């Protein structure tokens, strides 16, 4: 390889590396805002919870300190939006597994049913089976026996999502997927069912591995990789 050309390549690698190091979470969020119309980025404390899983064990937000949390609410007797929401959660879990983030990211689903606890837990188990969700990093939580029927719908309200009981065995509600960082800060809300799962996985990667990890597929990342290939092939 021509020595002058080699020097130029090395300089470009250095420049690309410097550019990559300049990435921040704000850069990642700005980039995603351009591509993902359903993403809303925030920075505020996530409401605390202390709920019971289908196995009878309790889990709180404090227990998840150090983990990035993907949290959603659903009504287990819903036959419309909620199954589609859980399909999105399954896609996200698959994306997290493919990125090697299963140890860093935990999925929390919270049932808002006001009906009996036993029947709701049966529905919760069925959701896990039907969508083949991996229980290693996914937990389905609900109120315990004797706790107020509206406990989890009030929690959803604290997260900014309304679940309104119509009195006919139906709940009218919004659909939001929340992202909480390892310090317990709410960082993002992905609204509805039309967001691209890969965009949310990119954001999770940025939180778990740092913003540069999420930028690896950008222009400088691709250029940097190609130049390194040329240098190594000499």
| Predicted local confidence at residue 164, as pLDDT | 82
List Cα–Cα distances, 114 to 120, 204, 233, in angstroms. 9, 32, 64
Quote the tokens at residue 198. Answer: 């890969």
| Predicted local confidence at residue 218, as pLDDT | 42
Round the CA-based radius of gyration of the chain to a whole number and report it.
21
Residues 185-223: pLDDT tens digits?
A: 999 999 999 999 999 999 999 999 999 988 655 443 444
Q: What is the full DSSP assignment across 82-123?
A: HHHHHHHHHHHHHHHHHTT-TTTEEEEEEE---S-HHHHHHH
| Predicted local confidence at residue 165, as pLDDT | 77
Instruction: Please enumerate, by residue number, every residue annotated as part of a binding site.
Output: 78, 82, 173
Report whether 141 contacts 110 (CB < 8 A). yes
CA 45 to CA 196: how far, in whole Å?
Answer: 25
Cα-based torsion angle of the residue sequence 64, 65, 67, 73 in order, rounded to the nearest 10 degrees = 40
Fold of the 37-208 domain: Glutaredoxin (3.40.30)
Higher pLDDT, 213 or 59: 59
Instruction: Please enumerate, by residue number, every residue annotated as part of a binding site for Cu cation.
Output: 78, 82, 173
Map out the domains of the chain as residue ranges.
Answer: 37-208
User: 18-24 contacts: CB < 8 A, separation 24 or more?
Assistant: 19/220, 20/212, 20/215, 20/216, 20/220, 20/221, 20/224, 21/212, 23/211, 23/212, 23/214, 23/215, 24/211
Is the pLDDT at 170 greater than 80? The verdict is no
CA 148 to CA 145: how far, in whole Å?
Answer: 9
Is the pLDDT at 226 greater than 80? The verdict is no
pLDDT mean over 217-232: 50
CA 55 to CA 35: how far, in whole Å?
Answer: 39
| Predicted local confidence at residue 214, as pLDDT | 83
Q: How confident is the model at residue 166 (pLDDT cuts 50, 70, 90)?
A: confident
| Predicted local confidence at residue 51, as pLDDT | 98
Report the DSSP beta bridge partners of residue 219.
none
| Predicted local confidence at residue 171, as pLDDT | 82
| Predicted local confidence at residue 197, as pLDDT | 97
Sign for the pseudo-dihedral over CA of 200, 143, 165, 153: negative
Quote the tokens at residue 219. Answer: 């222009």
Report whether 176 contacts 34 (CB < 8 A). no
Is the pLDDT at 20 greater than 90? The verdict is no
| Predicted local confidence at residue 88, as pLDDT | 97
Cα-based torsion angle of the residue sequence 151, 152, 156, 157 in order, rounded to the nearest 10 degrees = -20
pLDDT mean over 23-44: 95
Is the pLDDT at 2 greater than 90? The verdict is no
Is the pLDDT at 231 greater than 70? The verdict is no
The DSSP call for residue 144 is P
| Predicted local confidence at residue 220, as pLDDT | 39
Residues 75-129: pLDDT tens digits?
A: 999 988 999 999 999 999 999 999 999 999 999 999 999 999 999 999 999 998 9
What's the pTM value of the predicted model, to 2 decimals?
A: 0.82
pLDDT mean over 169-176: 83
| Mean pLDDT, the chain, integer | 87
CA 204 to CA 101: how far, in whole Å?
Answer: 9
Q: How confident is the model at residue 22 (pLDDT cuts 50, 70, 90)?
A: very low
């Amino acid at each position: 390889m021509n020595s002058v050309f080699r020097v130029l390549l090395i300089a470009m690698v250095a420049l690309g590396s410097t550019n990559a190091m300049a990435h921040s979470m704000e850069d990642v969020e700005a980039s995603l805002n351009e591509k993902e119309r359903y993403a809303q980025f925030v920075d505020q404390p996530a409401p605390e919870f202390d709920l019971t899983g289908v196995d009878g064990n309790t889990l709180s937000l404090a227990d998840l300190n150090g983990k990035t949390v993907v949290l959603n609410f659903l009504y287990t007797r819903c036959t419309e939006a909620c199954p589609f929401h859980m399909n999105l959660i399954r896609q996200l879990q698959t994306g997290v597994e493919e990125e090697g983030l299963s140890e860093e990211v935990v999925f929390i689903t919270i049932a808002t049913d006001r009906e009996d606890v036993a029947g709701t837990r049966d529905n919760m188990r069925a959701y896990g089976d039907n969508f083949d969700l991996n229980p290693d990093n996914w937990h389905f939580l609900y109120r315990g026996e004797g706790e107020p029927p509206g406990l989890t719908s009030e929690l959803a309200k604290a997260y900014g999502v309304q679940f309104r009981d119509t009195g006919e065995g139906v709940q009218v509600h919004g659909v939001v997927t929340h992202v909480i960082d390892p310090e317990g800060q709410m960082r993002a809300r992905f609204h509805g069912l039309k967001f691209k799962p890969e965009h949310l996985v990119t954001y999770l990667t940025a939180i778990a591995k740092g913003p540069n990890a999420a930028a690896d597929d950008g222009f400088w990342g691709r250029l940097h990789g190609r130049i390194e290939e040329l240098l190594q092939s000499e």
